[in-house]
Amino acid sequence: MFSASTGDTVMPDVLETTIRDNAQGPAKASGDSGSVEQHKLAEQIEADRYLSSKEAARSNRRGLVFNKLIPPGVS
């Protein structure tokens, strides 16, 4: 997978862990130095699906396999 923000390749388990951590944390946090807001969980899940579909599209196997079936006895 590809991270648009850093330009690096992101492993699926790292992305899953990040989404899990973000889901457990607060959506907004503010303090003396400023405030921070995360993307909504639905947006993170959609981004994960998008990146997974891009990864699947890059694979050599596109999900479809065509076979020619020949019944026995036919020459």
pLDDT in tens, 5-41: 444 555 667 777 887 777 777 778 888 888 888 778 7
pLDDT of 55: 79
Q: Indicate the pLDDT class of residue 1, thresholds 50, 70 and 90.
A: very low
Neighbours of 66 (CB within 10 A): 4
Where does residue 15 rank: exposed (0-12), middle (13-18), buried (19+ CB within 10 A)? Answer: middle
Cα(14)–Cα(6) distance, rounded to whole angstroms?
14
Q: Indicate the pLDDT class of residue 3, thresholds 50, 70 and 90.
A: very low
48 contact partners, CB below 8 Å, separation of at least 6:
15, 16, 19
Alpha helices in the chain (DSSP H): 12-24, 41-58
pLDDT in tens, 34-65: 888 877 878 888 888 888 888 777 877 766 77
